[in-house]
Structure 1
Amino acid sequence: MNRAASVVTLVLLVGAGLGLTYVVQDASAPQIAREQRLLDSRKLLDVLAPDAYDNQPLEQPLPLAETGLSHSMLLAGYRATRLGQPVAVLLRTRTEGYAGVIELLVAIDANGRLLGVKTLRQNETPALGGLIGDWPNSWLATFAGKSRTAPDDAGWALKKDQGQFDQLAGATITSRATVNAIHDALRYFDEHRVSLLGVAP
């Protein structure tokens, strides 16, 4: 085989390899994107047990009314279901901390009890209020099982404000803002339960 024929053969082989690579990547791109969305969703939704729901809550945001709350603002809401029945509502909320915005994801079961809280965004002081961004978070875990009325309104405050909750050490403003935002979310759930759960009153 002469040199020109070898070069042509090599070019054809490289072209075929590149074409095949492109076809494989193009065919697998939707699957890769789908897997990445599931991974992102699982990371965001780890306030819920993986077997507690069987839908993709983040793909169907709920319409929210009256999103400006007493101490926070709702950014989004999602419904988790299992076998078509609502099991939880997730409310994404924003409040003002010591050093800027704090965004939380608050998971509430169908009976109005808190399942979990996760910090999605914060700029608080490292080693103080910034600890709110840790996951898992032992301080945020202390709110699990609480509801709008347990404790009562007066109890939804820091102990230094005559409430029932400890604060993150050295982070009064961060802790107070978080407690208020969680209570806001629970109050909103109670007041909009029917529309959030999508069930008849």
Structure 2
Amino acid sequence: MNQTLTKNGFMLGAFAVVTTALIAVTFYATAPRIEQQQKQKLLSVLNEVVPSRLHDNTLYADCAEVVSPLLGNLEPHLIYRARTGDKPQALVVEATAPNGYSGNIHMVIGVDTSMQVLGVRVIEHQETPGLGDKIELAISDWITQFSGKVFDEESLSSWQVKKDGGEFDQFTGATITPRAVVSAVKNALLFVENEQTSLYSAPNVCQQGEVSQHGES
């Protein structure tokens, strides 16, 4: 009996070790590929929210790192900078809505120097399929409501969903998700309005030439 238990225990232990090793090998083998895919996805989104006419620099290679509660939490977020020559033209702000229905909603907001929103895209979320996932451009054009809006602090009350007295549509049967996104965009724009000059002059933390605006590596 004891021998059988010992044998079974040894087999289970060996199986656990082998399984753990396989998972580790798979993770380390696929991690660079996943990271590259994430970079390419972000690169594509950068080019969606800032038109090419507004920059002749490589967006992916010109960014500042900031920490601010207005960007959703106290973790670092990147701010990508669009320039023509040395002239600032637009920023792409990483922001997080921490109060989505199913957790954090990560997005980027493009805004030019006159505080006109160039575009907003959600890059990662866990919202409910068929309801909250309408924040994805591939599923709904809801996120395009932000494009062309000019932000100023005197009209803050309009930066809410219509149910709360603002001008942005909510989803039928789902208000939490759009409310979280609108609030996150508003706060990110507040941050930009307050810090715009310093953001353009902050040190560049992105490596030059790692990935170009056209996706070459």
Query: By the TM > 0.5 criterion, same fold?
Result: yes
Letter in 2 for 1:90: V
Q: Verify: 1:184 aligned to 2:187, yes or no.
A: yes
Gaps of 5+ in 2: 1-36, 203-217
Aligned counterparts of 2:41 and 2:166: Cα–Cα separation in 1: 36
Query: What displacement does 1:149 show?
Result: 2.0
- The equivalent residue for 1:25 is none
Letter in 1 for 2:95: T
Instruction: Note the aligned Cα RMSD (angstroms).
Output: 2.6
Alpha-carbon deviations, 1:108-161, whole Å to 9, x = none? 001111100001101101111112123485211111122332771111111111
Aligned counterparts of 1:72 and 1:43: Cα–Cα separation in 2: 23
Aligned counterparts of 2:128 and 2:41: Cα–Cα separation in 1: 26
Letter in 2 for 1:52: L
**Structure 1 counterpart SS, 2:146:** coil
Shift in alpha-carbon separation, 1:137–1:56, aligned structure 2, 3 A = farther
Alpha-carbon deviations, 1:15-66, whole Å to 9, x = none? xxxxxxxxxxxxxxxxxxxxx899555412121223331212222321425x
Shift in alpha-carbon separation, 1:136–1:187, aligned structure 2, 3 A = farther
Gaps of 5+ in 1: 1-35
- Are the equivalent residues in 1 in contact too, given 2:50–2:92 (CA < 8 A)? no
Letter in 1 for 2:44: K
Shift in alpha-carbon separation, 1:56–1:135, aligned structure 2, 3 A = farther
Q: Verify: 1:165 aligned to 2:141, yes or no.
A: no
Letter in 1 for 2:72: S
Query: What displacement does 1:172 show?
Result: 0.4
Aligned counterparts of 1:168 and 1:153: Cα–Cα separation in 2: 21
- The equivalent residue for 2:33 is none
Shift in alpha-carbon separation, 1:63–1:39, aligned structure 2, 3 A = closer
- Are the equivalent residues in 1 in contact too, given 2:119–2:147 (CA < 8 A)? yes
For 1:43-62, what aligned pairs fall within 5 Å after superposition?
Answer: 43-45=44-46, 46-62=48-64
- Give the percent of matched residue pairs that are identical in Structure 1 and Structure 2: 31
Letter in 2 for 1:68: P
- The equivalent residue for 2:6 is none
Q: Which has the larger radius of gyration?
A: 1
- Are the equivalent residues in 2 in contact too, given 1:105–1:118 (CA < 8 A)? yes
- Are the equivalent residues in 1 in contact too, given 2:101–2:176 (CA < 8 A)? yes
**Structure 2 counterpart SS, 1:119:** strand
Aligned counterparts of 1:40 and 1:161: Cα–Cα separation in 2: 33
- Are the equivalent residues in 2 in contact too, given 1:57–1:80 (CA < 8 A)? yes
TM-score, length-normalised on structure 2? 0.67
Correspondence for 2:125 among 122, 125, 133: 122
- Are the equivalent residues in 1 in contact too, given 2:134–2:142 (CA < 8 A)? no
RCO higher in 1 or 2 (8 Å CA, sep ≥ 6)? 2
- The equivalent residue for 1:72 is 72
